[in-house]
Structure 1
Amino acid sequence: MKKWNTKMIVEAGIMIALAYLLSRIKLYEAPQGGAVTAGSMIPILLFAMRWGVRPGMVTGAVFGILKLILGGWFFSPAQAILEYPIAFGLLGLAGISSISKEVDSPKDYFNIVLSVLLAIGGRFICHLLAGVIFFSEYAGNQNPWIYSLIYQSSYLVPEFIISSIILSLIWKPLSKIEK
């Protein structure tokens, strides 16, 4: 388990602030919440890739709580917990993959994309469950699982693509920054 130090805490705070600022730049906003942003998950994903799963999950959960406090949609405490601290905390799963600082081989790029997929996939599952459990009335006559799957995909798939491309481009220079 990594011990939190001053540099890690400061970096976490900066990444949370940057993620929040980027979340305010919306390229597309879904009608009942969720948006394609200017890469708002990238700072949290990058932090997790640098420091590991646990610090990444804590940082993601703090980011989720901040989003909830500063204007999140919620209708019940259980839904708020699932869609904010848990969903955004799972972005810390990006720290599970070991990626070299060189990023020269296709395997390294694959690991970056896999890390992003795992992290955003965790968030996707939380929102999918919340859609089925708490918002199934929006599905009308459609199967709530299918409705939630399509709805969550409408903004999280583009976020995955944006995050994967940008992280693949910036990982090599940013990974050389000392911890």
Structure 2
Amino acid sequence: MKKWSTKMIVEAGIMIALAIVLSRIKIYEAPQGGSVTAGSMIPILLFAMRWGVGPGMVIGATFGILKIILGAWIFSPAQAILEYPIAFGLLGLAGLFSSHKNNSTIKYYFNTILSTFLAIGGRFICHFLAGIIFFREYAGGKNPWLYSLGYQSSYLIPEFVISAIILSLIWKPLQKAVKIK
């Protein structure tokens, strides 16, 4: 794990604050929690792409804890831990394929989308499992696995598309504007 510099800590605070503000701007809100936002995961993903997986997971988990404090759907301590610090901590996976130095344009877009997919995919798995374990009664007579898959997809796929498009457009210019790594 990288040593945390003052610059890194300040940037982490700014990105968490921006993520919280963006999470309040909801395009669509699912009935039992989850929403499509104005790109609320993008600041966390950007931080992970800039500083790496470890620091990205730390600020993602911090963002998850703050979401609990600011009002979350909590039914048990295990569910809260799985759906907030762990799920949002996995957004740090965006740091895995974010080094785009001297990459072709196609590889650049592929790596950006792959980083976003892995990060949001990690979050998806946590919410999917929570849906099966903790919220199976909402499935009614449906298969809880399929219900959870459909429910989580209803808001996380649009979030992935929004995040992947915006990150694909801004990551390369940001690397030129700010010395990355």
TM-score interval, normalised by the smaller of the two chains: over 0.9
Structure 2 unaligned spans of 5+? none
**Normalization by structure 2: what TM-score?**
0.96
Superposed, 1:1-179 pairs within 5 Å as 1-101=1-101, 104-176=104-176, 177-178=178-179
What amino acid does structure 2 have at the position aligned with 1:109? Y
Give the secondary structure class of the aligned counterpart of 2:8: helix
Question: Which portions of structure 1, spanning 4 or more consecutive aligned residues, are displaced by more than 4 angstroms?
Answer: 101-104
Structure 1: distance between partners of 2:160 and 2:111: 14
Identity %: 78
Flag the 1:6–1:113 CA change in 2: closer, same or farther, 3 A: same
Please report how far the alpha carbon of residue 101 of structure 1 lies from its aligned counterpart in structure 2 after TM superposition.
4.7
The answer on whether the counterparts of 2:87 and 2:126 sit within 8 Å (CA) in structure 1 is yes
The answer on whether the counterparts of 2:50 and 2:98 sit within 8 Å (CA) in structure 1 is no
Structure 2: distance between partners of 1:156 and 1:85: 17
The answer on whether the counterparts of 2:37 and 2:159 sit within 8 Å (CA) in structure 1 is yes
The answer on whether the counterparts of 1:101 and 1:172 sit within 8 Å (CA) in structure 2 is no
The answer on whether the counterparts of 2:20 and 2:40 sit within 8 Å (CA) in structure 1 is yes
Structure 1 unaligned spans of 5+? none
RMSD: 1.1
Aligned residues between the structures = 179
